Amino acid sequence: MSTVLSSVTKVFGKTTALSAVNMTIHDGEFVAIVGPSGCGKTTLLRLLAGFDSPTSGEIEMNTEVVANARRIVRPEKRNIGMVFQSFALWPHLKVKEQVLFPLQHHRYVDKELKRYSGERVIEMLKLVGLADYAERMPNELSGGQKQRVAIARALAPKPALLLMDEPLSSLDAELRMELRKEIQTIHRMMNTAIVYVTHDQAEALAMADKIVVMKDGQIEQFGSPEEVYMKPKTPFVATFVGKANLIQGKWLGDAFKPLHDEEVLWIAPDVTDEMKKHHVLPVRPEQFTISRAGNGLRGIVRNVMFQGKEFHYSVDVNGQLLNVHSDYSSKVELGDEVVLAHTSYTNERVTVEEIPSY
Ligand code: ATP
């Protein structure tokens, strides 16, 4: 089932929560939605779920219009599953009954699945590693186990689309890593399309096929994790996903001259016009090499943080503080005068006369 949003706008009083959003979620695709608080992530998910209808625009599922300003298909009539941040298990039902419930009551469950619902419950509990917990009540489970039950319950009726709103945010870091892997494995096995809202961009980069970066109710970029990370379209995407440095400077075609070091000229193809319009070049902290000599931007180390496998430096380049990540082999010290070379561009220093006029 593919899901298509066309010019979807949602207005609450004076707030435009979503503004003309266009997006297609293909069959079996894992789409993560990231963005700062209040950018419209939950609103988008609620519209997909059928809890709310758009002010204008429309949503199609499987070529049927399920929501526009005049009509809305209710959540139970859409072939979707949901997993939210709070585990939301029914307190009076055993684990096996939680998973059985949608198989008995979901409108879309096919007859065969209904007939073998007992087997399906066991299959789903095995999938999430809870086969031995079928008889337990929710209050006898840990947070991670409750969330696994919620996932098994949502997937049991074989929904075409699974909506997940911050499903791991109430779990500790280790459990989150473990469940990330499980959700990826489950996604591969079930081939259900997933729309996954998260605050955690590392989670989005690690798990999704596509990432939607939102800001102020609009989509800033929609692309694969690699595209969004390596070729951010806007300064916002570059800093929000992966914390790039935005080097200020002047552009002439593909040539970039950093404002804070007049003698560096980088030829940087593949940078978007939006970046050029804002007079910046995005550079990831790991795209710099740091050393005490050589060619590149000259600066002074203002802060050093040991992070286990690498060091994080703050380097002052004539007033602009840049973040640089580097491993132990190129260790420098606080207060050192250093050179930051870009790993992809030629870092030859040029005299001012050699630089084309801007
Ligand atoms: P967070 O990450 O904090 O959960 P979000 O990206 O999910 O944020 P939304 O909950 O979608 O953001 O909210 C988008 C905007 O719409 C916000 O400005 C919010 O205050 C507003 N909003 C959401 N629901 C309502 C509502 N029912 N009534 C009025 N305003 C609303």
pLDDT at 100: 95
Measured CA to CA in angstroms, residue 281 lies from 183, 231, 284, 345, 355 at distances of: 36, 11, 10, 12, 18
Contact predicate 127/152, CB 8 Å: yes
Task: Judge whether residue 212 has pLDDT over 60.
Answer: yes
> Which of the pair, 350 or 330, is modelled with greater confidence?
330
**20-30 per-position pLDDT tens digit:** 999 999 999 99
Where exactly are the structural domains of the chain?
Answer: 3-230, 245-342
Q: What is the mean pLDDT of residues 194-208?
A: 91
Q: How far is the CA of 12 from the centre of ligand 1 (A)?
A: 9
pLDDT at 358: 47
Ligand 1 within 6 A of CB of 39: yes
* 40 CA closest ligand 1 atom index: 11
Q: How far is the CA of 40 from the centre of ligand 1 (A)?
A: 6
pLDDT at 350: 67
Ligand 1 within 6 A of CB of 42: yes
From 10, 21, 42, 84, give the residue whose CB has the most ligand 1 atoms within 8 Å, as the site to mutate: 42
> Which of the pair, 78 or 196, is modelled with greater confidence?
196
Please, what sign has the CA dihedral across residues 350, 250, 304, 331? negative
pLDDT at 88: 82
User: What's the topology of domain 245-342?
Assistant: OB fold (Dihydrolipoamide Acetyltransferase, E2P) (2.40.50)
Task: Judge whether residue 160 has pLDDT over 80.
Answer: yes
pLDDT interval class at 247 (50, 70, 90): very high
Q: What is the mean pLDDT of residues 164-179?
A: 84
Contact predicate 81/154, CB 8 Å: yes
Ligand 1 within 6 A of CB of 198: no
Task: Judge whether residue 4 has pLDDT over 50.
Answer: yes
pLDDT at 185: 87
Task: Judge whether residue 92 has pLDDT over 60.
Answer: yes
Q: What is the mean pLDDT of residues 248-252?
A: 92
Nearest one of 23, 75, 70 to 47, comparing CA atoms: 75
C-alpha span between 145 and 140 (Å, rounded): 9
pLDDT at 155: 87
Ligand 1 within 6 A of CB of 43: yes
pLDDT at 284: 94
Task: Judge whether residue 321 has pLDDT over 70.
Answer: yes
* 214 CA closest ligand 1 atom index: 6
**254-308 per-position pLDDT tens digit:** 999 998 887 888 888 889 999 999 999 999 999 999 999 988 999 999 999 999 9
Ligand 1 within 6 A of CB of 38: yes
Check if CATH label 3.40.50.300 holds for domain 3-230.
yes
Residues pairing with 161 in the sheet = 80, 193
Q: What is the mean pLDDT of residues 218-234?
A: 95
pLDDT at 354: 59
Q: Which residue's alpha carbon is at the smallest distance from atom 18 of ligand 1? A: 38
Contact predicate 282/232, CB 8 Å: yes
Q: What is the mean pLDDT of residues 134-163?
A: 91
> Considering the chain, what percentage of its residues have pLDDT values greater than 70?
97
pLDDT at 351: 61
Q: What is the mean pLDDT of residues 127-134?
A: 91
Mean pLDDT of the chain: 91
Q: Which residue's alpha carbon is at the smallest distance from atom 28 of ligand 1? A: 12
Measured CA to CA in angstroms, residue 228 lies from 169, 208, 338 at distances of: 23, 12, 30
Q: Which residue's alpha carbon is at the smallest distance from atom 31 of ligand 1? A: 12
pLDDT at 352: 54
* 46 CA closest ligand 1 atom index: 11
pLDDT interval class at 325 (50, 70, 90): very high
> Which of the pair, 86 or 329, is modelled with greater confidence?
329
Ligand 1 within 6 A of CB of 40: yes
Contact predicate 151/83, CB 8 Å: yes
Q: What are phi and psi of 65, to 5 degrees?
A: -75, 115
> pTM to 2 decimals?
0.87
Q: What is the mean pLDDT of residues 214-225?
A: 96
